[in-house]
Structure 1
Amino acid sequence: MFLRNSRGFLMRGGLVGLVVVGAGVCYYVYRATSRKRKNEGPEEAGLKGESIRKEHEQRLGSTSWGEAQMAIPEQAPVLGQNIFSSTGQKDSSHLQQVGMNFPVSPDGLEVHHIQSLIYLLESVEDPLIQEQALITLSNSAAFSVNQDIIRNLGGLSVIGSMLSVPATNVKEKALNALNNLSMNIKNQEELKRYITKICEETSSSPLNSELQLAGLRFLTNMSLTNYYHHMMTSSIPCFLHLLLDGDERTQTQVLKVLVNLSANPAMTEHLLSAQAPFLLSLFDSCINKEVLLRVLVFATNLTQHMKKEESAIASHHSEDSIFSMLRGNSTQCAEKLASLFHHHDTEVKEQVAKLVMQW
């Protein structure tokens, strides 16, 4: 038995085994197809809506997967102490000198409190004070009203300037604050100026470090829409390097960025040309589920765009390219997918079915 795509590629060997696995495959293909028709959402894992706060169903095809749905903006964790202690006392004598009175919880900050924090951040060079101020601003930026206030007070550029501070902890806390602030369309229009710098910082940071993860969370939010994808094109090799060498946390986070990029047809050729000979090794039942699902979504997005716009896809790619993995080396890919039909998780099997249906 042979299957041909529209350009005449033959799916042999392992794909034959995939096709003849029987009624079980048909069942999963049917479920995937029926769900796609029912949802009528951004099925290819792209964020098609206008608001980045709106919860979209399909970056993974299920509304039950919680945090791992990649259409949901990334919020930085609450880390460390705020600039005030749990009793409301300032943590530094310098803060007493500037005469600031902060309430106990960050969501209780008033406009003049936020303004004072921004001024403090701008005027001091002590990294410990800078870190504490950034923690407080980051926590307050988890609330949408404060995201607008910080922007209107000119706080985005002040926080962004902290990326140039040598202290790693300060840069990490600045990235956490920018990450929360990026959950806002108007803020993103200003924060785009930091994308290139943060891509570079993410690439040069120690592997699997909190600083690197903070950078990836920011890039995840900035890639939720297609507007800034072109600014990340040159960092695709870095993302793939992190996917190869990173731990599961790093792999999961970088895949969120890659899946967002793969949802944009304009990024298809850039991604297909990238060198990633290791990618098929992630098509394995032993791989962490969150990583495996995202790899499958990533491949499904690219294959879908290849199918729709084959005439626009360049035909010359190296053997180690993602294009060759998905098309030129289809037998090996099919064998990997055939084995995943025996995966214990239903979502994995459904995502495999969606990928197979693209051929």
Structure 2
Amino acid sequence: MGERRGAVVRAAAAGLLLGAAACYCLWRRAAGGGRRRGPPAVEEKSPPESPHTMDADALQKLIHLLQATDDPLIQEQALITVSNSAAFSVNQDMIRNLDGLSVIGGMLSGCVPKVTEKALNALNNLSMNIKNQEEIQVYIEQVCKNVESAPLNSDLQLAGLRLLTNMSVTSDYHHKMINKIPCLLRVLSEGSERTQIQVLKVLVNLSANPAMTRHFLRAQVPSLLLLFDNRINRDILLRALVLAANLKKNANNEGGSMIQDQYSEDSVFSILCRDSTPFAQKLASLLHHPDPEVKEQVVRILTQ
């Protein structure tokens, strides 16, 4: 009887998901194929509002389904549908008003990685809305834990980093990420190129905030110099240079008070801010890099 009942529940859920998906497709067609969000970036803006909207009743049923079921397959598919609808600003408000943010946020601490990943993706789309960020910020510490505990370079880790990127565009919630700077720098040192690019987006956002500078400079990253090389991926190199430029600028603005702290030999401070021959040599070599943006950041560092 239990198996039969479970099958009935799954069939009903599948019908709801199919109906919601069909509604979503029809809505998108009616909206003229409104722009979907591309890969998250520091400069990314909220998608344009559309006069059309996905059926509020369908969204509410999906949110209720997420609350009612513990079937990970159903949860995953429902989250994908909610995430797709959240690519449009009018639905971002609707999902918040339906208490969808707390429902999705509550799924970040689950034990099924695929469900957690899809929940992060949904919140990432929803975080393009400032009012949504005010509610999502309570989950930042959990998102950091997800990034730290996820397998290196996994889709789950990348989903968490994308959400942290959007949540760190302004300095409002930087204080919630202070303790995870060493973790983020470790991911930077050990990750693949795709992971390095994504974690650098977060680190660049954080480094622009002078209040975060000391926490960066105390961290130990012996492999940091490896990022400043002519042969490195251009996107990685450029973001690493922006990170270094931000930190050096903020350290210089601190004046003599910054020197009073004790920094280890492998600290970010020792690598970037002391008269370090290895780093100076790297910068001198990068002055001949063919990319003008790379050279611009090198000059920015050298003239500070």
Could you tell me whether the CA contact under 8 Å between 2:17 and 2:78 is conserved in 1?
no
| Deviation digits for residues 210-258 of structure 1 (CA, Å, limit 9, x no counterpart) | 0000000001111111111111111111111111110000000000111
- The one-letter code sitting in structure 2 at the alignment partner of 1:338 is A
- How far residue 96 of structure 1 moved from its aligned partner, in angstroms, is 6.3
Matches within 5 A, 1:288-299: 288-299=233-244
SS where residue 238 of structure 2 aligns? helix
- How far residue 98 of structure 1 moved from its aligned partner, in angstroms, is 6.2
Could you tell me whether the CA contact under 8 Å between 1:229 and 1:261 is conserved in 2?
yes
Q: Distance in 1 between matches of 2:224 and 2:246?
A: 15
- How far residue 126 of structure 1 moved from its aligned partner, in angstroms, is 1.1
Which runs of 5 or more residues in structure 2 are unaligned?
1-9, 29-52
Could you tell me whether the CA contact under 8 Å between 1:216 and 1:253 is conserved in 2?
yes
- The one-letter code sitting in structure 1 at the alignment partner of 2:150 is S
- How far residue 104 of structure 1 moved from its aligned partner, in angstroms, is 4.3
Residue 102 (structure 2) aligns with: 157
Q: 1:118 aligns with which of 54, 63, 80?
A: 63
Q: Distance in 2 between matches of 1:331 and 1:157?
A: 51
Q: 2:272 aligns with which of 311, 326, 341?
A: 326
Residue 37 (structure 2) aligns with: none
- The one-letter code sitting in structure 1 at the alignment partner of 2:80 is I
Higher helix share: 2
- The one-letter code sitting in structure 1 at the alignment partner of 2:297 is Q
Q: 1:309 aligns with which of 248, 254, 260?
A: 254
1:94 aligns with 2:40: no
Q: Distance in 2 between matches of 1:252 and 1:220?
A: 11
1:261 aligns with 2:206: yes
Deviates more, 1:206-215 or 1:183-192: 183-192
TM-score by length of 2: 0.84
CA RMSD of superposed structures (Å): 1.7
Matches within 5 A, 1:1-359: 93-95=11-13, 101-102=19-20, 103-105=23-25, 107=28, 108-313=53-258, 314-358=260-304
Could you tell me whether the CA contact under 8 Å between 1:100 and 1:116 is conserved in 2?
no
Could you tell me whether the CA contact under 8 Å between 1:142 and 1:180 is conserved in 2?
yes
Could you tell me whether the CA contact under 8 Å between 1:325 and 1:333 is conserved in 2?
yes
- How far residue 109 of structure 1 moved from its aligned partner, in angstroms, is 1.6
Change (3 A) 1:247 1:99: closer
SS where residue 119 of structure 1 aligns? helix
TM-score by length of 1: 0.71
Q: Distance in 1 between matches of 2:231 and 2:17?
A: 57
- How far residue 184 of structure 1 moved from its aligned partner, in angstroms, is 1.3
Q: Distance in 2 between matches of 1:99 and 1:130?
A: 10
- How far residue 155 of structure 1 moved from its aligned partner, in angstroms, is 0.3
Could you tell me whether the CA contact under 8 Å between 2:104 and 2:123 is conserved in 1?
yes
Which runs of 5 or more residues in structure 1 are unaligned?
1-91
| Deviation digits for residues 244-285 of structure 1 (CA, Å, limit 9, x no counterpart) | 110000000000111001000000111011111211121101
Deviates more, 1:207-216 or 1:322-331: 322-331
Could you tell me whether the CA contact under 8 Å between 1:285 and 1:340 is conserved in 2?
yes
Change (3 A) 1:275 1:329: farther
| Deviation digits for residues 18-51 of structure 1 (CA, Å, limit 9, x no counterpart) | xxxxxxxxxxxxxxxxxxxxxxxxxxxxxxxxxx
Q: Distance in 2 between matches of 1:96 and 1:243?
A: 40
Deviates more, 1:322-331 or 1:130-139: 322-331
Q: Distance in 2 between matches of 1:137 and 1:194?
A: 18
Provide the identity percentage.
59
Q: Report how many residues are paired.
A: 267
Q: Distance in 2 between matches of 1:312 and 1:240?
A: 24
| Deviation digits for residues 320-354 of structure 1 (CA, Å, limit 9, x no counterpart) | 11111122242221111000111121211111111
Could you tell me whether the CA contact under 8 Å between 1:141 and 1:180 is conserved in 2?
yes
Could you tell me whether the CA contact under 8 Å between 1:100 and 1:113 is conserved in 2?
no
Q: Distance in 1 between matches of 2:117 and 2:17?
A: 27
SS where residue 232 of structure 1 aligns? helix
Q: Which has the higher contact order (CA 8 A, sep 6+)?
A: 1
Q: Distance in 2 between matches of 1:265 and 1:133?
A: 41
Change (3 A) 1:325 1:113: same
Q: Distance in 2 between matches of 1:273 and 1:100?
A: 52
Residue 43 (structure 1) aligns with: none
SS where residue 164 of structure 1 aligns? coil
- The one-letter code sitting in structure 2 at the alignment partner of 1:127 is P
